[in-house]
Amino acid sequence: MTAIAIAIQNLSHRYGSVVAVDHLSLEIPEGAVYGLIGPNGAGKTTTIRSICTLLVPTSGDVLVQGLSIRRDARSIRPALGYMPDNFGLYDELRVWEYLDFFARCYAIAPAVRATTIPEVLELVDLSGKHDAYVAGLSRGMRQRLAIARTLLHDPSILILDEPAAGLDPRARIELRELLRELRRLGKTILLSSHILSDLAEICTHVAIVDRGRLVVDGPLSEVLSRVQGGRTLHFEVLGPWDAARQLLESLPRVRDVRSEEQESGRTRLVCQLSGDDGDQIAVLARLVSDGIPVATFREETANLEEVFMRLTAPFSA
């Protein structure tokens, strides 16, 4: 059974009469890259600040590695590396001075700082900027420096609020690779972003929130399949396509079979399957064992942006 890094339990937060988070509950497994998705005003940043012990919720609780943000805030903080959406960088400092300043804030001993700073700079690919002034860094480098700052005390959980905001395509690719490497190192990563294509590339799990409430959550593939109403399978067969169609229609959990003639002369059969990977493999195996020449086979999955638009409502004042 997978351990839970963060458990949000019936969390609510009000700003006066405004409900920012409304009885939100979800679990983030250890080792996951978890995307928190929602329109502006959905409560993402309020939720993140609550997890980071920066806000006391109106009601509910958050458990971080089993510890309550209400009772154990001081014990929780060393486990967290937090990068807010508007992070502070001191332009007049050199890169190593900036990291040394925050390492001192974390009470890291001088001897440890001397080895930790070069290590985190190497991890975020900024070793060549050790002595450069922060003011001279590109936007992408500044983002990576901010992540380096969150890694100084070796937290097990990273919480990144809009880490890709303002980055060009190359910098976003570099950021995705860095997040993959951090996951390989055993970090649990929670991030929010409006760039859904990036989240689809790197997230293992997602949660969509709207107006403070949870809409859907779970492993990314399951969320996409659930919203789509099952799996959509595409088969291109060389013939006889009518026999293939009849066979598909006779199989359990298969529905809505249709045929589409292709310019190549092949026929594409499309069907809906309610089942898991094992059922998908069984359908393909049955076609092959019955002598149906299958040229290509693929599963169609819903686009994360399409799912987001389908499940969230336009904001109205």
Q: Choose the CATH number for 4-225 among 3.40.50.300, 3.20.20.70, 1.10.645.10, 1.10.580.10.
A: 3.40.50.300
**Which residues are 316's β-sheet partners?**
none
Residues 6+ apart with CB under 8 A from 27: 4, 6, 7, 8
Summarize the confidence of residues 110-121 as an average pLDDT: 96
pLDDT band for 317, please (50, 70, 90 cuts): very low
Interval 20-64: pLDDT, tens: 999 999 999 999 999 999 888 899 999 999 999 999 999 999 999
Please name the amino acid found at residue 251. L
Cis omega (within 30 of 0) on the bond before 240?
yes
**Sequence spans of domains, the chain:** 4-225, 229-304
Interval 248-306: pLDDT, tens: 999 988 888 998 877 666 788 998 887 777 788 899 999 999 988 888 888 876 677 77
| pLDDT at 315 (0 to 100) | 47
pLDDT band for 114, please (50, 70, 90 cuts): very high
Residues 6+ apart with CB under 8 A from 59: 10, 11, 12
What average pLDDT is seen over the chain? 89
Please determine, for residue 151, whether its predicted confidence score (pLDDT) is greater than 90.
Answer: yes
Please name the amino acid found at residue 68. S
- Asked if 205 and 32 count as a contact pair (C-beta separation under 8 A), the reply is yes
Residue 191: name the closest of 36, 63, 42 by CA: 36
Please determine, for residue 235, whether its predicted confidence score (pLDDT) is greater than 60.
Answer: yes
| pLDDT at 310 (0 to 100) | 73
| pLDDT at 314 (0 to 100) | 59
Residues 6+ apart with CB under 8 A from 56: 50, 69, 70
Summarize the confidence of residues 85-114 as an average pLDDT: 93
Summarize the confidence of residues 215-244 as an average pLDDT: 81
Please determine, for residue 14, whether its predicted confidence score (pLDDT) is greater than 70.
Answer: yes
| pLDDT at 44 (0 to 100) | 94
Q: Choose the CATH number for 229-304 among 3.30.70.100, 2.30.30.110, 1.10.287.70, 3.30.70.2740.
A: 3.30.70.100
| pLDDT at 304 (0 to 100) | 78
pLDDT band for 118, please (50, 70, 90 cuts): very high
Q: Which helix (H) or strand (E) holds 9?
A: strand 4-15
Q: What's the token pair of residue 244?
A: 């293939």
pLDDT band for 198, please (50, 70, 90 cuts): confident
Question: Percentage of the chain with pLDDT > 70?
Answer: 95
- Asked if 238 and 293 count as a contact pair (C-beta separation under 8 A), the reply is yes
Helix (H, G, I), strand (E, B) or coil at 249: helix
Share in percent of the chain as helix, strand, coil (round to 5):
40, 30, 30
Summarize the confidence of residues 200-206 as an average pLDDT: 92
**Which residues are 284's β-sheet partners?**
none
The whole-angstrom separation of Cα 210 and Cα 240 is 48
The tally of CA atoms less than 13 A away on the side-chain side of residue 286 is 17
Interval 166-181: pLDDT, tens: 888 888 898 999 999 9
| pLDDT at 195 (0 to 100) | 80
CA 213 to each of CA 1, 2, 13, 92, 115: distance values in angstroms, whole numbers, following the listed order = 27, 25, 11, 42, 44
Residue 162: name the closest of 11, 24, 42 by CA: 42
Written as one string, the DSSP assignment of 30-91 is: TT-EEEEE--TTSSHHHHHHHHTTSS--SEEEEEETTEETTT-HHHHGGGEEEE-SS----T
Summarize the confidence of residues 188-203 as an average pLDDT: 88
Written as one string, the DSSP assignment of 136-174 is: G--HHHHHHHHHHHHHTT--SEEEEESTTTT--HHHHHH
Interval 122-132: pLDDT, tens: 999 999 999 99
